[in-house]
Structure 1
Amino acid sequence: MDHKTFVGSLDRSDLAALMVTRDRPGMVHLAGHIALIVIGSFWILRGWFLWPFVLVIQGVVISFLFTLEHEATHKTPFKTKWINEAAGWLSGLLILQPFFWFRCFHMAHHRHTNIPGKDPELMSGYKPEGRAAFVWYLTGIPYWIGMTRQIWRNAKGKRFHNYVPERAYPRVTREARIMLAFYGVSLLSLAMTGFVFWVWILPTFLGMPFLRLYLLAEHGRCAYVANMFENTRTTYTTRFVRFIAWNMPYHVEHHTIPAVPFHQLSVLHKTLEGHHVVTSDGYTGFAAEYLRETR
């Protein structure tokens, strides 16, 4: 059975219930995510015990705002539209990934998941081959370089990739220019205070490798076919990782029915039992397996 047959077999009322969006679960989850960042910031600035280690944790929590931005592209974490847009845009701002551009990129990824020549993730270096490329990918440096170039290109209003519709050009260009202004002000602030560097810039740089590994596990070493049960991986992990990743380790579930909000993915996961084809027991296990299969 492929994912389309599975979705077609679901009771229509059950399916509709799964796709209901609400504000409260998202707001509670967001409050928890923000609280972790605030606590980490205070800990670092106070120089408490093991604060250098907290730098890494802080970076992981900030980097994983990507998963909130990702969910917001689907307009599912919150029922209220402007909250979705604001949460997605601000999350992207903190990790150097323009939200409106990413929505176009990500929708193309969903239309052509893991299909060579069509999925923009496959054309953007998301799937490293070879151990040296794997390590280089995990550093996060290719991401920072790529996003800097993308924002600059967007700001200049240059011709975008074909996954960005022409009607979106003005919005994508304006977004990039606002982001550049924000980053400019942030860099200027370093001359007066180290706050931005210690609680945001350095931690995010240190935390990005963990996000890169998480993202690689979503489709890495999966089949180049249209069936979401075969081209996507669900990873079994800890509650903490599921929390900061907004339940996106349930990734087969997300790709099977993208309209299901994050707080319902655990329910869909139970419904999908017996249909998973590609899974991993944790991200370290996935990394070890990836390296074994990489020359």
Structure 2
Amino acid sequence: MTPAPKLLTAQELAVLNQRSDAKGWQQFFGHLALLAVSGGLWLSGWGGWAVRLPALVTYGFGLAAMFAAVHECVHRTAFASNRANDTVAWIAGLLSFYNSSFYRRYHKWHHRFTQIPGKDPELADPKPQTWPQYLLELSGLPWWLGKIRTHFKVATGQFADYPYIPAEAQSEVQRSLLWQLAVYGALIALSLGLKQPLFVTAWLLPLAVGQPILRAILLAEHSGCSEDDNPLTNTRTTLTWAPLRWLMWNMPFHAEHHFCASIPFHALPSAHEKLSSYWGHLDRGYLAVNKALISTFGQA
């Protein structure tokens, strides 16, 4: 991997790298509050479908966007405390159907080999090249099937397909996932005991509704970027609405994050002010990025 060019002074980087428990908890509890309000409106039925439908979309995307919390916490930058990072990462993974222990190792390789064919694990899932592939991607179905397949293999100790999980970490990853699956099992049992489809209405259905929005966002991060180790051109920053940046824990500043992954989420806007002029891919709006992706369909 080519070392990142020095675009920040040591002093600037030291300021940007300051982690904060207070800012981490403020972000996490704010995210949970959004889930509580939107989920309450969805499940209560108050206001009829004029209220319930937008509440469902908000709640579902809020659940899916807990992936952003997993992402920040596995870098152990969201909080000053590593225990807080690991705890929140696991809880956020429970809500978003990711496993933080697995994702930490997977994502480490993604950063180590960003956009390097044959090495970056994210490139194992090809970007859509046609309308059917694009719509299938947005549906979230490949993601669901991939998660179910991976969770099954990890739960049963099958790590041959995951070279980024070292042998010494396999038992930890397996144990973490088994606990996660046990929680899902307990919630399913509770739903059956109450004779209410709460596992479906409070989690499974909303998360499925939120996935298309998250898929469109994640497609923007590297699609159409250079497939090499140049940090100035292999990742995209997308300028978007402040509420979306907040719910995604500032992940839209993705080029800044990949350029220096030690910068906490709350400092990424400041990093953007210093670095944005260097990026090869700086776009305004996820609709525009997805439209540009669609425009390449059928091209060689």
TM-score class, shorter: over 0.9
Q: Which residue of 1 aligns with 2:58?
A: 57
The CA deviation at 1:199 is 2.5
1:180 and 1:190 map into 2 onto residues whose CA distance is 15
Q: After the TM superposition, which of the residue ranges 279-288 and 70-79 deviates more from structure 2?
A: 279-288
Q: 2:13 aligns with which of 7, 15, 26?
A: 15
The CA deviation at 1:56 is 1.2
SS of corresponding position for 1:128? coil
SS of corresponding position for 1:249? coil
Contact 1:19 1:259 in 2 (8 A): yes
Q: 2:242 aligns with which of 239, 242, 245?
A: 239
Q: Which residue of 2 aligns with 1:209?
A: 212
Q: Which residue of 2 aligns with 1:67?
A: 68
Q: Which residue of 2 aligns with 1:136?
A: 136
SS of corresponding position for 1:277? coil
2:231 and 2:294 map into 1 onto residues whose CA distance is 24
Q: Which residue of 2 aligns with 1:29?
A: 27
SS of corresponding position for 2:283? strand
The CA deviation at 1:11 is 1.9
1:159 and 1:59 map into 2 onto residues whose CA distance is 31
Q: Which residue of 1 aligns with 2:222?
A: 219
1:100-119 equivalences under 5 Å are 100-119=101-120
2:265 and 2:222 map into 1 onto residues whose CA distance is 19
Contact 1:40 1:58 in 2 (8 A): yes
1:174 and 1:118 map into 2 onto residues whose CA distance is 26
Structure 1 spans left out of the alignment, 5+ residues: none
Q: Which residue of 2 aligns with 1:197?
A: 200
TM-score by length of 1: 0.95
| Residue type at the aligned position of 1:81 | N
Structural RMSD (CA): 1.4
2:183 and 2:226 map into 1 onto residues whose CA distance is 40
Structure 2 spans left out of the alignment, 5+ residues: none
Contact 1:58 1:199 in 2 (8 A): no
Instruction: State the number of aligned residues.
Output: 291
Q: Which residue of 1 aligns with 2:273?
A: 270
Percent identity over the alignment? Answer: 33
Q: Which residue of 2 aligns with 1:288?
A: 291
The CA deviation at 1:247 is 0.4
1:285 and 1:96 map into 2 onto residues whose CA distance is 28
Corresponding position: 1:256 with 2:254 = no
Q: Which residue of 1 aligns with 2:89?
A: 88
Q: After the TM superposition, which of the residue ranges 110-119 and 46-55 deviates more from structure 2?
A: 46-55
The CA deviation at 1:128 is 2.2
Contact 2:129 2:296 in 1 (8 A): no
SS of corresponding position for 1:229? coil
Contact 1:63 1:95 in 2 (8 A): yes
Q: After the TM superposition, which of the residue ranges 170-179 and 237-246 deviates more from structure 2?
A: 170-179
The CA deviation at 1:3 is 7.6
The CA deviation at 1:61 is 0.8
Deviations 1:161-208 (A, max 9, x none): 111111101001111211222222222223223333222221111001
TM-score by length of 2: 0.93
The CA deviation at 1:81 is 1.2
**4+ residue segments displaced more than 4 Å:** none
